[in-house]
Amino acid sequence: MYDWWVLVHIVGVLGFMFTHGVSGAMALRLRHERDPDKIRILLQVSSSSTGLFYLSIVILLAGGIVAGFQGHWWGQGWIWTALAVLLATMAFMYALAAPYYKRIRTVMKMEDAGSVAVGQEEIDAVMRSGHPLLIVWVGILSLAFIAYLMVLKPY
């Protein structure tokens, strides 16, 4: 039964990678986009993957937690570290990414409504932010470290 729960965990990881890959690619492309219509489309594409992203997280966690009990891993430090890194990364991403994308969406809504307060300069300023690169790098490094912990089980 352990192997089946590991499979559930891996399916959750794959779903997470697929859905979050959409957001990561969008974030990197968004930095270079200045056309308001294209920015809106990129934001919509990213938002469309959110539901599956959260479902994947639940599957990933459920499979990993149950497999951790069945494999008697909860006495090992690597599994606790992996879980802590995942949760800390999620908190970091939410704290950094949510306000950033909310700001972009607000600027786009104001621009769409024809607000004179939003011009190309404001759009450029929001799009030039280094937030997307930081978000992507933290995500990549966190996932690589978690993979290291799960495969090599160093402690």
Q: Which long-range contacts (CB under 8 A, 24 or more apart) does 47-54 make?
A: 48/22, 49/19, 49/20, 49/22, 49/23, 50/19, 52/15, 52/18, 52/19, 53/15, 53/16, 53/19, 53/20, 53/23
Six-digit token string for 105: 């969406």
Mean pLDDT for all residues in the chain: 90
**Tokens read off for 21:** 């890959």
46-76 per-position pLDDT tens digit = 888 888 999 999 999 999 999 999 999 999 9
pLDDT, tens digit, for every residue of 98-108? 888 888 888 88
At 99, list the tokens. Answer: 């306000």
**What pLDDT band is residue 117 in, cutting at 50, 70 and 90?**
low
pLDDT recorded at residue 100 = 87
Residues 6+ apart with CB under 8 A from 137: none
The two structure tokens encoding residue 102? 């909310």
